Structure 1
Amino acid sequence: MIYIGLTGWGDHPDVYSPTSKKNEKLIDYSSHFPIVELDASFYAIQPERNIRKWIDETPDNFQFIVKAYQGMTGHQRGKLLYDTAEEMFQLFKLSIEPMRAAGKLSMILVQFPPWFDCKRENVEQIRYIRRQLEGYDVAIEFRHQSWYDSPMQEKTLSFLKDLDFIHTVCDEPQAGEGSVPLIAKTTRNDKVFIRLHGRNVNGWRNTTGDNEAWRRVRYLYNYSDSELMEIRQVVHQLKNESKDVFVIFNNNSGGHAAENAKRFQKMMGINFQSLAPKQLDFFEEE
């Protein structure tokens, strides 16, 4: 099956009902899409009450892709907030356990930072993460080009396959070593993950040093029909190799992700069933 969704549910006004309350955004979101990427877990390990609330607000077959906490992926600079790395991983797993028990945890996304390049110590870090997250479906996303340089590309994919990781296929600006090419290959026959970051080449790298301003423009992009047709071909190719294809639109700096996802869904001829009952189709032409 092909699943389509967005990063987060709190910043997509096109999918909210005019009569909904502020705390009903996930309910509205889940009436349009069957999956979501949970990015709040990247910034902080979430308390159990939040996880259980999100479980209760979504349909039985709804799926979460949970982004790994930044301390687990090397994004967090300086001293960890936890006494040991093992404690951090354990608390993260305890946090998401209710989601897994409810059958709503599709995978954990481990996205490495742009400076996480292909070298021995980082390979060992990936092995360590596999041991810490044993038993979980884990997707790996690289942001440094060295993992896909020739002849490393096939070695990288083989390495991910050997450790039972899900390969994250990325569509993103090609802006030097801090970005990766779109490699439409799978490492498992059950799941593959595609993240669509947009193609804003000028905004992809932080050249000003202003992190807040940069985050507002980095994913500022509106996919054209022809570009979505390119992605459509990629999805069909991956569907021949994997049972389930998960597609997440992350290009929401300008609010384009929801419309792009709906347009892509229409191109794919997909009609999701068993969504939350509040669905209103704001995307159909009058």
Structure 2
Amino acid sequence: MTRARIGISGWTYAPWRGTFYPKGLPHRKELPYAADRLDSIEINGSFYALQRPTSYRRWAEETPDDFVFAVKGGRYITHILRLRDCREALANFFASGVLTLGPKLGPLLWQLPPTLQYDEESVRAFLRLLPRSTADAAALARDTTLDSDRTDTAGGQDRPLRHAVEVRHASFDVPSFADLARSEGVAIVVADTAGRYPVIRERTADFVYVRLHGDEELYTSGYTAEALERWATELRGRLADGLDVYAYFDNDVKVRSPYDAMALRELLTASGSPSGDPLAG
């Protein structure tokens, strides 16, 4: 059975305090508060720096049993190395505690920089490095160069891993990239970026990953009721096609993303679309 997860990108934002988060709510309780209202959150701190195993374990403990995290891959891999010669960096990423999320580990997101043009050879090499199961990820993580006190590869039962790539250069909007992603079973992110970056709606995996950055102003504008209904209609279609859905709002500047996420989730629930535990990984 297909499932839809609707959430937000990150949860620690000062402007949310006293608006989405009740005034006086301790910062340590912000994740549990958000997780009680949504069923998935994108961890984006992992994009800026390797997180610690203690953080991943705490996040898993602070969320409901049926909660799922998406985890954003490090910008060191995507923006500095630009997907090349990144096996060691991938090993360090997976050794940093990602796998301790266990069954709460959902898809891995790889956001590419807008200056990175499509090069089939390097993209293919990168996609083939990505582990397709937690056991594969743990094996890769054993080659880490991190100190032992910064690593934990325990992930419990072996589970499949899903990967999604968000591209931001128009050169990726070609059939050869879609064919490559499809052959590797990697989802191409459907990204709403107020017209700044390409929108690619090719089906290339058994799930769809949507990022909603704002339809009029990037990271800022909220979504109208009409816009949310349009997205609900599209996501219902993806569910009907047999795809699991992960959708995250990243229009956080004016505290729109949590409210838009809750509204879209309500639209899908009201229409009878399934929500809950997707095929994790």
Q: TM-score, with normalisation over the residues of structure 1? A: 0.76
5 Å matches for 1:41-80? 41-73=46-78, 75-76=79-80
- Which among 198, 207, 211 is matched to residue 180 of structure 1? 198
CA distance in 1, matches of 2:259, 2:108: 25
* 1:89 alignment counterpart: 90
- Partner-residue secondary structure (3-state), 2:103: coil
The answer as to whether partners of 2:236 and 2:268 remain within 8 angstroms in 1 is: no
CA distance in 2, matches of 1:134, 1:62: 21
Which stretch shows the higher mean deviation, 104-113 or 222-231? 222-231
- Partner-residue secondary structure (3-state), 2:231: helix
- Which among 93, 98, 101 is matched to residue 100 of structure 2? 98
CA distance in 2, matches of 1:20, 1:254: 19
* 2:153 alignment counterpart: none
- Which amino acid is 1:192 matched to? V
- Which amino acid is 1:173 matched to? A
Question: How far off its partner does 1:112 sit?
Answer: 0.5
* 2:147 alignment counterpart: none
* 1:196 alignment counterpart: 212
Alpha carbons of structure 1 residues 157 and 226: separation in structure 2 relative to 1, 3 Å: same
CA distance in 1, matches of 2:28, 2:91: 29
* 2:7 alignment counterpart: 5
Question: How far off its partner does 1:44 sit?
Answer: 0.5
CA distance in 2, matches of 1:174, 1:243: 25
CA offsets 1:240-271 (integer angstroms, 9 cap, x no match): 22331111011111111111112222222359
The answer as to whether partners of 2:8 and 2:261 remain within 8 angstroms in 1 is: yes
Q: CA RMSD in A?
A: 2.4
CA distance in 2, matches of 1:233, 1:33: 19
Question: How far off its partner does 1:130 sit?
Answer: 2.9
- Partner-residue secondary structure (3-state), 1:103: helix
* 2:168 alignment counterpart: 143
Question: How far off its partner does 1:171 sit?
Answer: 1.3
- Partner-residue secondary structure (3-state), 1:259: helix
The answer as to whether partners of 2:193 and 2:214 remain within 8 angstroms in 1 is: yes
Q: TM-score, with normalisation over the residues of structure 2? A: 0.78
- Partner-residue secondary structure (3-state), 1:58: coil
Question: How far off its partner does 1:109 sit?
Answer: 0.1
Q: Percent identity?
A: 23
Question: How far off its partner does 1:34 sit?
Answer: 0.6
- Which amino acid is 2:168 matched to? R
5 Å matches for 1:214-225? 218-225=218-225
Structure 1 unaligned runs (5+)?
A: 202-217, 275-286
5 Å matches for 1:1-286? 1-11=3-13, 12-13=16-17, 14-18=19-23, 20-73=25-78, 75-76=79-80, 85-95=86-96, 96-99=98-101, 102-120=102-120, 123-135=121-133, 136-148=161-173, 152=174, 154-175=175-196, 179-181=197-199, 183-189=200-206, 191-200=207-216, 218-270=218-270
Q: Relative CO higher for 1 or 2, CA cutoff 8 Å, sep ≥ 6?
A: 2
- Which amino acid is 1:188 matched to? A
CA distance in 2, matches of 1:60, 1:269: 20
CA distance in 1, matches of 2:219, 2:266: 23
Alpha carbons of structure 1 residues 174 and 237: separation in structure 2 relative to 1, 3 Å: same
- Partner-residue secondary structure (3-state), 1:54: helix
